[in-house]
């Protein structure tokens, strides 16, 4: 089984080999089919092959593959018929115009279909089910430039997905009753509760939508927008059988539900007759076949719905028969379409002489469809009529007769549209001369047609193969063995009558060439529903989403005040255990912060406001330190400093004052809202701690930091080991933000960005402390240059020191990276962008990328040596001179963090410093107007 999936994946990758690439999955499928075929005798003997891979053990979900008789039949259909369709594809598609994704999608579909039929776990089955839906959507919409194709794909997708969701709910309900997701166990011991009946009904909705049974039938004819081999595979042989498969699989468990038999038989007959009547009216022979498929699926549901031994055997035989003959017919239609360029019955006729092989395949396959001996279609239909009659004799008289009559009428109509197809296309006067011929195109349909004929003589073997599943149904008498000749039975009489009636019907109506008119009521209903949904979305969005940012945020904040706030006010009692302060310093720092924050909200000066914000930042750092968090204090001070530098660099180009907004009333409302939110947040944090009952999870960190993380700085060990996934996500955010800053400044990167990385020609041209110093001596400050020359190496050493000791002392990748960032900023301030280029002569993206790669590798690598993701190891060695040295492997992760932070800082300084300088030189930067709160916009960056 794994072999099939493997072959499928390999071929999906090599989609550039031209059309013959289809032969690879064809070979894989056929080999796998042979493998399954070889297991046939064992399956017939009742053996069950199983393979189990745990997936989500905690939820009881496993990839549990199980090969019983039913699964074997479906797998043979998917792989055998599918393999031949792949062969056909190799000659059907043109290499030059073949969309590369076609082969990948088709093989992906084959794999997911196999997963669907082989899985015993209902959740995994659903996964396969939904995957086939997705692949069907993509394949129907293969030509995505046509609006009607897109809509057909969407309709098919939505209808089957709604069914799939209903099925998933059903599965969940069922699991709550049985306690297992296993299909086999559910069937072995079916629950009899009302809840289980609901579950069965919901799952049935999924099955009916997938198999295009009324009221869901309208998606299938639309899906004919797909290429013909796709239609043959998905919408005739395999995918639409998934629903039938589910009905067959669930029948043994639920057939005794009061509505099961009547519901299925009624819907089946309606679908069968509706599809057949529609098929008679079509002019496009492919769409004719599609309606024929709808009709045949209705027949399958009818037969399986009878729910006895005999009907199960008949239904499965018909399933195999339908897969074989319908795929063959579709492929013949594709061949006709390929050679004549049309599928319109008005332009077709008399092709038998020009395409004898195709005509033979079509006649044989259509004979099977019409149920003419000795084809397998006849075998199945006779068995179905027999089964219905046996029921009529037994306890289910009314149901049996209804089914019998329905199947007989359906058979007559089937004969009529089969004749219409074959005679209209291949006999009569020649209408369109075939333009190109490909003998290879006929191989696969011919093989299938012959197989259909041969299977007709293999009734005995079929009975034996299907027996293990048939006997699961606990109703009806022992099924009679399939055979071509049972004697002169009522079923045979009904068949003969159906042939005669069908031929007569064809004589009367078959020559009509009126285009079909009118639309499907159900389809119209579907479209009306979709339109209503869209209108509702527009109305709701139009009312709720006003597009005003302050209004949206205010709404969110109001909800915060209204919901958690009112709960806090009404339901929660404040405890009386509260400390006023931890230390006197805390009061001082908090006082400064509060004053600065309030002033920051009222000031109009841009620089002043941000200076006050910085005061708050440093004050918070002081509070961190007083609280016993040196790492935090260090990080906060460094981050605040970097931000201040970057901020001042940008403020050079912005107006001195904020815009003054005149709405006084709104200002008071905002202040009120802000105060309310702040009060609630503070009160909530106090109450949360007072009502805490559990012990902090971090109490164990004290031991585990050293035992698992091999470090003494618990905060750092938490970052790089205990919560390493968090940290990985957070540095990704930093990376994204840095890239965003760079892209906002260097809008046209290749032009403007590279100028930053190009040194100004000539260099400073004077003796300086720095090689990249300003050329203009007016700008340069010799003291700053000298200090930079001396300070930069020292700061970098400090940065590396923080990185190295971070595991045991305050420090780490974040702090080290920020120190390096300040060092870079100093280089920039002293010498401008040339000096920054001297410091880092390459793009910041390289640092970010290398850091990210290192960080991910640092998390994942233990898997390679058999550890867990994120596991740490300590390497200890005794070196001469240095004594005992311990290297903890998380250092590599921290190194990645360090690189990312340096890269981000470099991006900030280079974009907001050097990039804006460059804008100024190119005259594209905004110019603040004197005494105004506006700027003159810069020209658009063009070069």
Partner 1 sequence: MTPSLVLAIAGGVLIAAGVYLVLERSLMRILAGVMLAGNGINLLFLVASGPAGLAPIVGEPRDEIADPLPQALVLTAIVISLATGALLLAMSYRSFQLEGHDEVADDVEDTIVRRRAQADLSSEAYVEPDSSAVADTESGGRLVLDEEGDPTSADAAEVGR
Considering only residues 900-919, where is the footprint of partner 1 by CB under 8 A?
A: 901, 904, 908, 911-912, 916, 919
Q: Is 727 in the site for partner 1 (CB under 8 A)?
A: yes
Q: Is 98 in the site for partner 1 (CB under 8 A)?
A: yes
Q: What is the DSSP letter of 514?
A: P
**Residue number with CB closer to partner 1 (433 or 534):** 534
Q: Is 658 in the site for partner 1 (CB under 8 A)?
A: yes
Chosen residue from 221, 275, 806, 870 binding partner 1 by CB under 8 A? 221
Q: Is 537 in the site for partner 1 (CB under 8 A)?
A: yes
**Residue number with CB closer to partner 1 (549 or 879):** 549
- 3 state SS for 601-663: HHCCEHHHHHHHHHHHHHHHHHHHHHHCCHHHHHHHHHHHHHHHHHHHHHHCCCCCECCCCCC
Residue 907: closest CA among 731, 739, 733, 728 = 739
Q: At a CB cut-off of 8 Å and minimum separation 6, what does 743 contact?
A: 749
Footprint on residues 784-813 left by partner 1 (CB under 8 A)? 808-810
Six-digit token pair at 54?
Answer: 């745990």
Q: Is 714 in the site for partner 1 (CB under 8 A)?
A: yes
**Residue number with CB closer to partner 1 (70 or 738):** 738
**Residue number with CB closer to partner 1 (537 or 783):** 537
Footprint on residues 298-317 left by partner 1 (CB under 8 A)? none
Chosen residue from 176, 438, 519, 754 binding partner 1 by CB under 8 A? 519
**Residue number with CB closer to partner 1 (105 or 300):** 105
Instruction: Give the containing element (helix H, strand E) for 599.
Output: helix 584-602
Q: What is the DSSP letter of 576?
A: S
**Cis link prior to 374 (omega < 30° from 0)?**
yes
Q: At a CB cut-off of 8 Å and minimum separation 6, what does 179 contact?
A: none
How far apart are alpha carbons 829 and 836 in whole angstroms? 9
In the complex, the smallest distance separating the C-beta of residue 812 from partner 1, rounded to whole angstroms, is: 8
End-to-end CA distance of the chain: 58
- Dihedral of alpha carbons 345, 348, 349, 351, sign: negative
Asked whether the beta carbons of 512 and 279 are under 8 A apart, the reply is no
Q: Is 931 in the site for partner 1 (CB under 8 A)?
A: no
Chosen residue from 613, 787, 804, 856 binding partner 1 by CB under 8 A? 613
Asked whether the beta carbons of 88 and 76 are under 8 A apart, the reply is no
Q: At a CB cut-off of 8 Å and minimum separation 6, what does 496 contact?
A: none
Which residue stretch of 243-251, 500-508, 579-587, 774-782 sits at the interface with partner 1 (rule: CB under 8 A)?
A: 579-587
In the complex, the smallest distance separating the C-beta of residue 227 from partner 1, rounded to whole angstroms, is: 4
Task: Go through the chain and tell me how many residues it has.
Answer: 943
**Residue number with CB closer to partner 1 (404 or 814):** 814
Footprint on residues 136-175 left by partner 1 (CB under 8 A)? 139, 142-143, 145-149, 151-152
Residue 755 phi/psi, 5-degree rounding, is -65, -35
Six-digit token pair at 667?
Answer: 């200002």
Q: Is 935 in the site for partner 1 (CB under 8 A)?
A: yes
Footprint on residues 730-769 left by partner 1 (CB under 8 A)? 730, 733-734, 737-738, 740-741, 744-745, 747
Q: Could you give the dihedral angle defined by the CA atoms of residues 355, 361, 364 and 365, in that order, rounded to the nearest 10 degrees?
A: -130
In the complex, the smallest distance separating the C-beta of residue 35 from partner 1, rounded to whole angstroms, is: 30
**Cis link prior to 215 (omega < 30° from 0)?**
yes
Footprint on residues 335-374 left by partner 1 (CB under 8 A)? 337, 341-347
Chosen residue from 718, 768, 788, 890 binding partner 1 by CB under 8 A? 718
Q: Is 549 in the site for partner 1 (CB under 8 A)?
A: yes
**Residue number with CB closer to partner 1 (131 or 142):** 142
Which residue stretch of 111-119, 193-201, 787-795, 924-932 sits at the interface with partner 1 (rule: CB under 8 A)?
A: 924-932
Which residue stretch of 32-40, 208-216, 437-445, 599-607 sits at the interface with partner 1 (rule: CB under 8 A)?
A: 599-607
Q: Is 646 in the site for partner 1 (CB under 8 A)?
A: yes
In the complex, the smallest distance separating the C-beta of residue 8 from partner 1, rounded to whole angstroms, is: 19
Q: Is 671 in the site for partner 1 (CB under 8 A)?
A: yes
Partnered with residue 880 across adjacent β-strands are: none
Chosen residue from 282, 463, 768, 799 binding partner 1 by CB under 8 A? 282
**Residue number with CB closer to partner 1 (430 or 714):** 714
Q: Is 610 in the site for partner 1 (CB under 8 A)?
A: yes
Chosen residue from 30, 196, 212, 230 binding partner 1 by CB under 8 A? 230
- Alpha helices (runs of H) in 341-489, residue ranges in sequence order: 356-370, 376-393, 397-426, 443-456, 459-470
Chosen residue from 431, 483, 484, 600 binding partner 1 by CB under 8 A? 600
How far apart are alpha carbons 680 and 566 in whole angstroms? 9
Q: Is 522 in the site for partner 1 (CB under 8 A)?
A: no
Please give the full DSSP string across 207-245, using - where no structure is assigned.
HHHHTT-TTSTTHHHHGGGS-HHHHHIIIIISTTHHHHH
**Residue number with CB closer to partner 1 (354 or 486):** 354
């Amino acid at each position: 089984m794994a072999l099939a999936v493997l072959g499928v994946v390999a071929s999906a990758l090599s989609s550039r080999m031209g059309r013959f690439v289809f032969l690879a999955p064809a070979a894989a499928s056929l080999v796998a089919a042979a493998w399954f075929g070889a297991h046939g005798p064992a399956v017939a003997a009742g053996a069950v092959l199983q393979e189990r891979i745990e997936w989500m053990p905690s939820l009881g979900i496993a990839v549990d593959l199980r090969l019983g008789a039913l699964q074997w039949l479906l797998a043979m259909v998917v792989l055998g018929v599918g393999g031949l369709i792949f062969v056909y594809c190799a000659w059907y598609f043109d290499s030059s115009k073949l969309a590369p994704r076609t082969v990948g999608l088709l093989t992906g579909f084959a794999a997911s279909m196999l997963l669907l039929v082989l899985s015993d776990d209902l959740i995994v089955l659903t996964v396969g089910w939904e995957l086939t839906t997705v692949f069907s959507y993509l394949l129907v919409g293969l030509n995505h430039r046509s609006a009607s194709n897109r809509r057909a794909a969407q309709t098919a997708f939505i209808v089957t997905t709604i069914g799939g969701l209903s099925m998933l709910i059903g599965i969940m309900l069922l699991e709550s009753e049985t306690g297992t997701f296993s299909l086999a166990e559910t069937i072995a011991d079916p629950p009899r509760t009302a809840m289980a009946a609901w579950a069965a009904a919901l799952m049935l909705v999924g099955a009916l939508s997938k198999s295009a049974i009324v009221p869901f039938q309208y998606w299938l004819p639309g899906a004919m927008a797909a290429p013909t081999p796709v239609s043959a595979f998905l919408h005739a042989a395999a995918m639409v059988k998934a629903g039938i498969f589910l009905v067959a699989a669930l029948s043994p468990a639920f057939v005794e539900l009061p509505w099961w038999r009547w519901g299925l038989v009624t819907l089946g007959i309606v679908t069968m007759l509706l599809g057949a009547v529609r098929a008679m009216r079509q002019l496009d022979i492919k769409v004719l076949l599609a309606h024929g498929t709808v009709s045949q699926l209705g027949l399958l549901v009818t037969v399986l719905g009878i729910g006895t031994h005999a009907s199960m055997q008949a239904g499965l035989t018909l399933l195999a028969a339908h897969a074989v003959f319908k795929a063959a017919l579709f492929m013949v239609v594709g061949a006709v379409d390929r050679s004549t360029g049309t599928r319109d019955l008005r332009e077709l006729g008399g092709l038998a002489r020009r395409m004898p092989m195709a005509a033979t395949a079509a006649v044989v396959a259509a004979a099977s469809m019409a149920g003419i001996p000795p084809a397998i279609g006849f075998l199945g239909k006779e068995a179905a009529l027999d089964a219905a009659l046996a029921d009529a004799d037994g306890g289910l008289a009314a149901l049996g007769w209804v089914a019998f009559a329905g199947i007989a009428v359906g058979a007559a109509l089937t004969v009529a549209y089969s004749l219409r197809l074959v005679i209209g296309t291949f006999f009569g006067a020649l209408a369109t001369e075939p333009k190109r011929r490909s003998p290879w195109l006929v191989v696969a349909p011919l093989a299938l047609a012959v197989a259909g004929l041969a299977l007709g003589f293999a009734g005995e073997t079929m009975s034996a193969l299907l027996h293990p599943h048939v006997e699961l149904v606990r109703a009806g008498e022992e099924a009679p063995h399939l055979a071509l000749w049972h004697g002169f039975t009522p079923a045979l009489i009904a068949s003969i009558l159906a042939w005669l009636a069908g031929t007569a019907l064809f004589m009367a109506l078959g020559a009509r060439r009126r285009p079909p008119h009118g639309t499907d009521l159900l389809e119209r209903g579907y479209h009306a529903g979709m339109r209503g949904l869209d209108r509702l979305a527009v109305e709701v969005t139009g009312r709720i989403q006003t597009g005003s940012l302050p209004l949206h945020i205010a709404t969110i904040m109001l909800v915060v005040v209204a919901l958690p706030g009112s709960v806090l006010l009404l339901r929660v009692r404040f405890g009386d255990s509260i400390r006023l302060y931890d230390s006197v310093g805390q009061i001082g720092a908090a006082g400064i912060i509060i004053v600065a924050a309030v002033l920051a909200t009222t000031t109009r000066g841009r620089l002043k406001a941000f200076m006050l914000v910085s005061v708050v930042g440093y004050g918070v750092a002081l509070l961190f330190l007083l609280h016993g968090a040196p790492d935090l204090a260090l990080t906060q001070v460094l981050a605040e400093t970097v931000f201040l530098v970057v901020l001042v660099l940008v403020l050079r180009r912005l107006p001195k004052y904020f815009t003054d907004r005149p709405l006084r009333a709104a200002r008071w409302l905002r202040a009120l809202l802000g105060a309310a939110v702040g009060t609630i947040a503070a009160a909530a944090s106090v109450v949360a701690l007072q009502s805490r009952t559990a012990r902090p999870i971090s109490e164990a960190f004290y031991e585990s930091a050293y035992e698992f993380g091999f470090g003494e700085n618990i905060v750092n060990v938490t970052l790089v080991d205990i919560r390493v996934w968090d940290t990985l996500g957070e540095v990704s955010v930093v990376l994204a933000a840095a890239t965003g800053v760079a892209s906002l400044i260097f809008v046209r990167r290749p032009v403007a960005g590279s100028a930053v990385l190009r040194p100004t020609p000539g260099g400073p041209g004077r003796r300086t402390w720095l090689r990249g110093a300003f050329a203009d001596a007016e700008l340069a400050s010799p003291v700053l240059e000298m200090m930079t020359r001396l300070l930069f190496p020292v700061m970098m050493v400090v940065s590396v020191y923080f990185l190295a000791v971070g595991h045991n002392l305050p420090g780490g990748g974040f702090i080290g990276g920020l120190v390096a960032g300040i060092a870079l900023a100093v280089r920039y301030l002293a010498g401008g962008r040339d000096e920054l280029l001297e410091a880092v002569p390459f793009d910041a993206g390289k640092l970010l990328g290398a850091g990210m790669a290192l960080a991910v590798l640092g998390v994942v690598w233990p898997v390679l040596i058999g550890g867990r993701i994120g596991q740490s190891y300590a390497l200890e060695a005794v070196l001469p001179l240095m004594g005992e040295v311990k290297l903890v492997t998380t250092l590599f992760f921290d190194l990645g963090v360090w690189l990312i932070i340096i890269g981000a800082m470099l991006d900030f300084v280079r974009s907001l410093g050097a990039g804006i300088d460059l804008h100024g030189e190119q005259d594209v930067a905004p110019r603040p107007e004197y005494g105004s709160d506006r700027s003159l916009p810069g020209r658009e960056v063009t070069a």
